[in-house]
Structure 1
Amino acid sequence: MSSTVSSPGRTRPGRGAGRAPAARPVRKVRRLTVVDRVVLAVMAGVPALLVAALIWGPSIASIVLSFTTWNGVTPPRFIGTRNYEQITTIYPPFWPAVSHNVIWLLFLLLIATPLGLLLAVMLDKQIRFTRVYQSVFYLPVVLSLALVGFIWQLIYSQDQGLINQLTGADVNWLGDSSINLPAVLVAAGWRHVGYIMVLYLAGLKGVDTEMKEAAALDGATETQTFFRVVFPTLKPINIVVLVVTVIEGLRAFDIVYIVNKGTNGLELLSVLITNNILGEASRIGFGSALAVILLVISLAFIVTYLYQNFRKEDAR
C-alpha cells in the first residue's frame, strides 16, 4: 500500500476543489452635482426653447390664424375653413403655383440629385485634381440663392446676357412665360448639385472597401457593385438627401423673387404667401392658410418616404 505524507503546516487541496473567483472591481458611479445638472439643463433647454419659439410657435400660430381673417391691425375674426375654400376655388394663382412647385421638386429629385450623386461617385475615385473639382462644384453652395439669382440674371439677360452673346440669339429667357421656369430651374439645380455631391461624398467615404473588393472577386461589375453593395449602405444619406431636396423644392423663393417677383409663369406657393402677408392689402389669415397647405404638402412627401423605408426595415 502507498501512503501520502503531508508536510506539517501545508494544506493540499483536493482534486475536486475549485479556486475562489477573483473579485471584480467595483465601478464607482459619479453622481451629477448641482452644477452638472444646471449645465445640462441649459445646454438642452436653450436649444429646445429656441426651436419652440422660432419654429413650432410660428407654425402653430399659422395654423390658428388660417381659420381667421386678419389684416394685422384689427382683432382677428374666426371664419372657419373659408380661407381654404377660397384658395382652392376662386384664387387663380394657386393651382399654377402648386404645379410649378411640383415641377421644381421633380426636377431636383430626378435630375439635379442624380447628377450630384454621379459627381460624388466620380470624385470618390480620387481622379487627378479631385480637390479642385470638388471646390468648383461646391462653390455655388456657399452663395445665397438671391446672389445666384443675380448671377443667372446676367447670364440670361436678353440684351447683354452671356448665352445670347455667345449664340447670337435674341431670346428673352426670363421674360417669356413658356421658358422662364426651365431657365430658373437650371439656376436652382446649379446650386443644388454641389450640395448633394458633398453629402454623398461624405457617405461614400464611410463605405467599407472590403465589401467592394468582395463583390469584385465574385465577378460583379462596377455598376452592379454600386447598386447592389454601395448604394444600399447609403440609406441614411438618402434620407437626408430626400428631406433636403423636398425642402429646397417647396420653399423655393429667392431666385424667382429676384427675377420677376414670382409672376409671369414663375408663381410659387412661397411667393403667394409673401404677397398676401406682406403685400399692400395684408391678408394674414389667407396667407397663413397658404402656408399650412405648403406645410402639409412638404410633410406628405417626407412622412410617406420615411414610413415606407422604416416598414421595409421592420419586415426584415
Structure 2
Amino acid sequence: MAVQSPRRARGLPPRDRLLVALMLGIPLLAVLTFVWLPALLSMVLSFTRWNGIGGPDQITPYGVENYRIAATVDPQFWPAVQHNIVWLLVFVCFATPLGMLFAVIIDRNIQGSRIYQSALFLPVMLSLALIGIIWELIYSPNYGLINTIIGRNRDNNLVNWLGDPDLNLWAVLVEASWRQAGYVMILYLAGLKAVDPSLREAALIDGSNAWQTFFRVIFPVLKPINVVILVVTVIESLRAYDLVYVNSHGPVLPGLELLSILITQNILGEQTRIGYGSALGVVLLLLSLIPISVFLYQTFRREERP
C-alpha cells in the first residue's frame, strides 16, 4: 500500500499576503480616489449649473445645456479644440519621431553619447514654468535671441512671437516639443537597450541595411514602448497648460486658447461656472480616450489574428 506524501499548501505566508495587498491596494485606492472619482463627479456636474458657492442644495439640473453653450455660444471653444488637436498632431508627427531619432543615434554608442543624452534630457529635468521663462527670453521682441539674429520683419517691425495670434501657438509648440523630444528619447532608449542583440545580427546576416533592420525587426519589438509613448503623448498634449499660462502672463492670449485653459478659467476664474467647466473637462477626457482606444483596438486586433 503506497503512502502518499502530504502536499504542502502552496502560497504566500500571511505576512507576505498582507504586504502584497497593501502594495496593490494603496495605489489602487489612490487612483480611484484622486482620478476616477473626480472624473465621475465631473461628468455628473457637467449636467448641472453651479457657481461653486453653497452646498449640494445650490446645484440645479441643467441637462445638456452646458454642452450646447460650448458648441454654439462660446467663441473660444472650437478654437481651443482645434489648438489641442494641432498640439497632439505636432507631438505625434514631429516631437515623437525626433525623440526616436535621438534614441537610435545615441544607441549606436557614438563618441560623446553620454554628453548628448544628458543635454537632450536636460529640458525634461526643468519645470514647465522655467522652460516657459527661458523661451520667453528667447522670443522677446526687443532683446530676444531670435529677433537679434533675424532682425525685423517685412514691415521693418520686430517680430512679436508670443503676441501675434498667427505665430504664438507655433512658438509655444517649439517649447513643448523641445521638452517632449527628450522625454520620448529616454523611453525609446530604455526599449532599445532591452532588444535582443541576436535580432540585429540575424537581420545583418540576411542582408538588411540599418533602415530595414530598425523598421522591420527592431520597431515591431518595441510595441509595448510604443503604447506607453502614445498614451504619454496624448496626455501631455491635451493637458498642456503651464507653458501657455506662463507665456500669456495670466489671461490667455488670442491664438493660444486650449481646453485646459478654459476649464481653469471657468472653475477657478472670476466668473465661476463649475458645471460648464466640468462639461469642458468631459470633452477633454473624450478627446484623450478616442485616439488611445483606437490605437489599442488596432494593436490587440492584429495580435489576435492568426
TM-score of Structure 1 vs Structure 2, range by shorter chain: over 0.9
CA distance in 2, matches of 1:309, 1:31: 35
What is the TM-score normalised by the length of structure 2? 0.92
2:74 is aligned with 1:91: yes
Give 1:52 deviation, angstroms: 1.1
| Length, aligned pairs only | 294
Q: Which moved more, 1:129-138 or 1:140-149?
A: 140-149
Taking the aligned partners of 1:304 and 1:113, their CA distance within structure 2 comes to 18
In 2, the alpha carbon distance for the partners of 1:233 and 1:186 equals 30
1:6 maps to none
Give the structure 2 partner of residue 194 of structure 1. 182
Q: Does 1:70 align with 2:58?
A: no
Q: How does 1:63-212 map to 2 (within 5 A)?
A: 63-74=43-54, 75-169=58-152, 170-212=158-200
- The one-letter code sitting in structure 2 at the alignment partner of 1:120 is A
Structure 1 residue ranges (4+ consecutive) displaced by more than 6 angstroms after TM superposition: 23-27
1:217 and 1:25 map into 2 onto residues whose CA distance is 54
Whole-angstrom distance in 2 between the partners of 1:32 and 1:160: 66
For residue 33 of structure 1, report the CA deviation from its aligned partner: 4.8
Residue 51 of structure 1: CA displacement? 1.0
Moved more, 206-215 or 250-259: 206-215
- Structure 1 residues 246-257: aligned runs within 5 Å: 246-257=234-245
- Sequence identity percentage: 55
Name 1:301's counterpart in structure 2: 291
Separation in 1, partners of 2:42, 2:5: 58
1:164–1:24 Cα change, 3 Å: farther
Partner Cα separation in structure 2 for residue 216 and residue 197 of structure 1: 25
CA distance in 1, matches of 2:255, 2:5: 74
Secondary structure of residue in 1 paired with 2:135: helix
Letter in 2 for 1:146: A
Give the match's secondary structure for 1:225: helix
CA distance in 1, matches of 2:11, 2:117: 48
* Cα deviation, residue 43, structure 1: 2.3
Q: What amino acid is aligned across from residue 271 of structure 2 in structure 1?
A: A
Cα distance in 1, alignment partners of residues 285 and 292 from structure 2? 11
Cα distance change of structure 1 residues 238 and 24 upon mapping to structure 2, 3 Å threshold: farther
Q: 1:266-298: CA deviations, max 9, x gaps?
A: 000000000000111100000000000000110
Distance 2:191 2:303 in 1: 20
Note the C-alpha offset of 1:26. 7.2
Which of 201, 206, 224 is 1:213 aligned to? 201
Q: 2:163 touches 2:253 (CA, 8 Å); kept in 1?
A: no
How far does residue 46 in structure 1 lie from its aligned partner after superposition?
Answer: 1.6
Partner Cα distance (2:283, 2:17) in 1: 41
For the structure 1 residues 52 and 167, does the alpha-carbon distance in structure 2 shift closer, same or farther, using more than 3 Å as the test? same
Match of 1:286 among 255, 276, 279: 276
Which of 59, 64, 68 does residue 39 from structure 2 map onto? 59
Query: In the alignment, is the contact (CA less than 8 A) between 2:132 and 2:247 conserved in 1?
Result: yes
Structure 1 unaligned runs (5+)? Answer: 1-22
- Matches of 1:34 and 1:313, distance apart in 2: 38
How far is the alpha carbon of 1:166 from its aligned partner? 2.6
Q: TM-score, normalised by structure 1?
A: 0.89
- Whole-angstrom distance in 2 between the partners of 1:222 and 1:48: 43
State the 1:144 CA deviation. Answer: 1.4
**In structure 2, how many angstroms separate the alpha carbons of the residues matched to 1:196 and 1:231?**
14
Corresponding residue number in structure 1 for 2:256: 266
Cα displacement (A) at 1:31: 5.2
State the partner residue of 2:155: none
* Aligned residue identity for 2:111: R
Q: What secondary structure, in the 3-state scheme, does the structure 1 residue paired with 2:130 have?
A: helix
What is the aligned counterpart of 1:43 among 11, 23, 26? Answer: 23
Q: CA deviation at 1:40?
A: 3.1
Q: Which moved more, 1:208-217 or 1:134-143?
A: 208-217
Following the alignment from structure 2 to structure 1, what is the Cα–Cα distance between the partners of residues 36 and 90?
A: 29
Between 1:29-38 and 1:266-275, the stretch displaced more is 29-38
Higher Cα radius of gyration: 1
